[in-house]
A and B are shown apart, each in its own frame.
Chain A
């Protein structure tokens, strides 16, 4: 099945920019979606189709996808952004449906 690789953790100071990567073989050819999961809560879709934001998601959240890496960028990071972030693609070449990365813990220090 298709494998997505994320760094386990990313730390950033308030007001700075956080970047969370998601690596996969030719991931630039796939659509990548991103979810934010705060402790004890269900995941929330924050980016879909590589770079689109659902209504209600701040413009501070943006993303890109090219080559073997997709990147979620959070600008002007706030304490409330601290959460686990997961990238996701569809296993279009196999039979595994939704495939998630291992998740990245964003810590605002």
Chain B
């Protein structure tokens, strides 16, 4: 069973950059689309974006201008950077394994890491 372990600060100041890393163990980082999903406190889930081990990415249009997702296959890790954060970016951030069929424009998330609350506050 693949496991995803997230690391990164739980508090970020407004206007700064939120950075999180997810380490993949118990399975290969190849052949899947590694995703970030967030959940504001008391609210629903929001897909942020994904990266394939090849480096191919897809981002949510609403976050695209501030978002970078990268992958380090040698370390079986993928990372999220969200710049110019505001209080609206306060959320529990999840990393997840995406099963995506790009040609069919279809996908779902079959393994999730434990979420971590990231608070944007001065």
Residues of A within 8 A of B (CB): 1, 30-31, 33, 35, 41-45, 48-49, 54, 86, 88, 90-93, 95-103
Contacts and interface: CB of A to CB of B under 8 A. Distances in A.
Interface of B: 35, 37, 44-47, 49-50, 58-61, 94, 98-100, 104-110, 112-115
B105 A90 contact: yes
A72 to B, nearest CB: 14
B46 A48 contact: no
13 contacts: A30-B106, A33-B108, A35-B45, A43-B45, A48-B99, A88-B109, A90-B105, A90-B106, A92-B104, A97-B107, A98-B98, A100-B46, A103-B44
Contacts of A90: 100, 105-108
A6 to B, nearest CB: 9
Given A35-B45, A42-B94, 11 more contacts: A1-B61, A41-B114, A42-B112, A42-B113, A43-B45, A86-B45, A91-B105, A93-B105, A95-B61, A98-B35, A98-B98
Interface of B is mostly: strand
A97 B4 CA distance: 21
Interface of A is mostly: loop
A94 to B, nearest CB: 8
A102 B105 contact: no
Given A86-B45, A90-B107, A97 B58 contact: yes
Given A42-B115, A43-B112, A86-B45, A98 B37 contact: yes
Contacts of B108: 31, 33, 45, 48-49, 88, 90, 98
A103 B47 CA distance: 14
B94 to A, nearest CB: 6
